[in-house]
């Protein structure tokens, strides 16, 4: 049965907004908490060779009738530029540990075909390889983040890739790069040393992987680039705290700059449910899963603090986002799913959490960019649409490289049966004299009257944008690509030293000082 749940109808929304007047939230700057810069790389993205993420998504080929630059869709280039994406992770994911980079260089007609064993079993022709990706990253103004193959590769293979991409002195790999048309090195900084080594990367124990990591990491460097690489160890799956303990205990600080963490939001991992036709119970469970990111970061960070109290090693959440069953009629290995207001809630609360923990979290990558999981862009032939998640990240981009303003948030509870969650989350920052405050109300039924104490904010006057809709299942479709877009938010007023506003159910509001 499809859910035409009473909570999700427009009539119910109109009724419950009036009830929401009973719920209140007070927000103020926390002068006692430590402030830091919110690293722009928290707003990174992830593009794996998975389903229609690369082929028939980002890359359509130079001979396509769809307007493109070197085979990459122009509309996607524009959309990602507008989003100011700071970094892009490639080629995986699980795909990375079956990818041999030399298959994707040289004349395209001479490149071998491969079978994507992880995702759908489809054949790929390697027409999108290292040069294509690094050219795209340069076009976007994004830092490339390359994931190396430890699962089925060799030390020399990854060492050669670093030399091919970054080599300055004359060597066989830099000569090969020049032969293939790239004279100057790309100087790629961010490198993943394997991916999910506890699973698709090789089903390794952390102790075994830590030693393997030490070997690979050692041979990635030379006298020219040893201080330029940012090497990221394959990190824990959700709450595997022992994995993080071993990474921090067994890998010398001089060989590691970051430790990864992967955690997705879902209602039930075994039965993830539909991306659009979900119930109140499923929505609540997904929000509970998303909000758990705060606990995960705190506990993994506490372990890292034992070995690295100066926080020199970053926590890199390079896979996060909502994960549901694939859209009906699509290849189950392609992980194509729609993107609703539920996903906007996931994006808003997760980014607020990352901002608050930006002393340790210094990079994160939403999974994934186009046509896969919680994508910011969906395509269908020549058509392209921007998802609610895209619009949240576009409003939040003002936090990139801004000074965090720690917040105290007194939030009402969002209740479902016997469980409760905090309804309101937020983060604030200041950059170039402009203050940005991002607020999320995840309550699917009730609005919240929020009062922001402005006494400790430099800025006193704000305008606001809102992302909301009539039903929490609402989404942008190719027939209605702009059903959900940011709109001016007028339900805001200033009273003495306080800013008063009403947050509708399941909404994201971003305030900007003027």
CA 399 from centroid of its chain's CA atoms:
15
CA distances from residue 360 to 118, 137, 140, 311, 364 in whole angstroms, order as listed: 32, 25, 26, 6, 11
Weakest mean pLDDT among 77-86, 391-400, 432-441, 456-465: 456-465
Structure tokens at 137: 């990253």
Helix (H) or strand (E) holding 293: helix 280-307
Percent of the chain residues past pLDDT 90, beyond the cut: 90
Give the Cα-Cα-Cα angle 290, 294, 296 (nearest 5 degrees). 95
Q: Catalytic site residue 295? A: no
| Alpha helix (H) residue ranges in 308-429 | 341-356, 388-396
Taking only the tens place, the pLDDT of each residue in 43-62 is 999 999 999 999 999 999 99
Mean of pLDDT values over 239-254: 97
The three-state secondary structure class of 309 is coil
- Is residue 189 exposed (0-12), middle (13-18) or buried (19+ Cβ within 10 Å)? middle
Task: Please report, for residues 84, 203, 266, 389, the alpha-carbon distance to residue 476 in angstroms, rounded to integers and kept in the order given.
Answer: 21, 38, 20, 11
Q: For residue 19, what pLDDT is reported?
A: 43
What's the token pair of residue 75?
Answer: 């509309």
> Any catalytic annotation for residue 310?
no
- Per the DSSP assignment, residues forming a β-bridge with 501 are 450, 492
Nearest CA among 236, 200, 189, 198 for reference residue 97: 200
Instruction: With CA atoms as reference, report the closest residue to 403 among 349, 365, 347, 459.
Output: 459
C-alpha distances in angstroms, 450 versus 453, 486, 503, 514?
10, 20, 7, 20
- Of the residues 124, 196, 257, 282, which is catalytic? 196
Answer yes or no: are the C-beta atoms of 229 and 162 closer than 8 Å: yes
Identify the weakest region by mean pLDDT among 22-26, 39-43, 251-255, 374-378.
Answer: 22-26
Where residue 282 falls (left for φ over 0; alpha for ψ -120 to 50; beta otherwise) is alpha
Counted residue by residue, the chain has a size of 514
Phi, then psi, of 109 in degrees rounded to 5: -70, -20
In 10 A of CB 504, how many CB atoms? 21
Q: In angstroms, how far is the first alpha carbon of the chain from the final one?
A: 49
**DSSP of 429-462, one letter per residue?**
EEETTEEEEEEEE--SS--EEEEEE-TT-S---E
Q: Any idea what DSSP says for residue 180?
A: T
Question: Cα(237)–Cα(147) distance, rounded to whole angstroms?
Answer: 17
Question: pTM for the complete prediction?
Answer: 0.94
Domains in the chain, CATH or no CATH each? 6-34+406-513 (2.60.40.1180), 40-401 (3.20.20.80)
> At residue 42, does pLDDT exceed 50?
yes
Alpha-carbon radius of gyration of the chain = 23
Q: Which of 174, 171, 175, 255 is nearest to 211 (CA)?
A: 255
Tell me the pLDDT tens digit for each residue of 370-388: 999 999 999 999 999 999 9
What whole-number distance in Å separates Cα of residue 421 and Cα of residue 441? 11
pLDDT at 12 over 50: no
48, 124, 257, 319: which is the annotated catalytic residue?
319
- Confidence (pLDDT) at 226: 53
**pLDDT of the residue at 227:** 60
């Amino acid at each position: 049965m499809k859910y035409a749940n009473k909570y999700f109808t427009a009539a119910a929304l109109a009724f419950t907004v009036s009830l929401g007047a009973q719920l209140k939230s007070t927000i103020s700057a926390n002068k006692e908490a430590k402030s830091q810069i919110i690293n722009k790389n928290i707003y990174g993205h992830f593009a794996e060779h998975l389903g229609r993420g690369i082929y028939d998504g980002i890359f359509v080929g130079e001979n396509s009738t769809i307007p493109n630059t070197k085979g990459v869709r122009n509309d996607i280039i524009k959309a990602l530029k507008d989003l100011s994406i700071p970094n892009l992770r490639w080629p995986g994911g699980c795909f990375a540990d079956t990818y041999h980079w030399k298959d994707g260089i040289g004349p395209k007609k001479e490149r071998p075909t491969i079978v994507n064993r992880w995702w759908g079993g489809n054949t790929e022709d390697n027409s999108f390889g290292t040069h294509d990706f690094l050219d795209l990253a340069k076009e976007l103004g994004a830092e490339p983040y390359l994931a190396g193959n430890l699962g089925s590769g060799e030390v020399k293979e990854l060492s050669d890739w670093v030399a091919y991409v970054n080599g300055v002195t004359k060597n066989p790999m830099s000569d090969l790069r020049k032969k293939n048309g790239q004279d100057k090195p790309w100087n790629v900084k961010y490198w993943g040393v394997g991916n999910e080594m506890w699973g698709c990367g090789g089903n390794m124990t952390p102790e075994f992987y830590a030693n393997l990591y030490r070997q690979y990491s050692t041979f990635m460097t030379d006298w020219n680039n040893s201080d330029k690489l940012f090497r990221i160890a394959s990190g824990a799956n959700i709450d595997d705290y022992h994995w993080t303990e071993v990474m921090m205990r067994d890998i010398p600080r001089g060989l590691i700059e970051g430790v990864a963490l992967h955690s997705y939001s879902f209602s039930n991992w075994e039965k993830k449910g539909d991306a659009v036709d979900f119930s109140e119970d499923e929505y609540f469970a997904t929000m509970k899963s998303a909000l758990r990111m705060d606990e995960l970061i705190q506990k993994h960070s506490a372990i890292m603090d034992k070995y690295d109290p100066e926080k020199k090693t970053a926590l890199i959440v390079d896979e996060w986002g909502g994960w549901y069953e694939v859209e009906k009629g699509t290849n189950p290995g392609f992980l194509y799913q729609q993107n609703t207001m539920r996903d906007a809630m996931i994006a808003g609360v997760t980014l607020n959490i990352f901002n608050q923990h930006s002393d340790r979290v210094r990079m994160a990558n939403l999974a994934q960019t186009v046509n896969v999981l919680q994508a910011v862009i969906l395509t269908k032939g020549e058509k392209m649409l921007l998802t609610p998640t895209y619009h949240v990240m576009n409003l939040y981009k003002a936090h990139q490289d801004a000074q965090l303003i720690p917040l105290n948030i007194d939030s009402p509870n969002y209740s479902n049966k016997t469980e409760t969650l905090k309804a309101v989350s937020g983060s604030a920052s200041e950059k170039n004299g402009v203050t940005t405050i991002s607020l999320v109300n995840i309550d699917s039924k009730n609005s919240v009257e929020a009062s922001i104490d402005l006494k400790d904010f430099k800025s006193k006057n704000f305008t606001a944008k809102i992302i909301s809709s009539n039903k929490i299942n609402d989404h942008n479709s190719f027939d209605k690509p702009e059903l959900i877009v940011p709109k001016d938010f007028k339900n805001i007023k200033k009273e003495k030293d306080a800013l008063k506003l009403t947050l509708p159910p399941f909404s994201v509001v971003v305030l900007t000082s003027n």
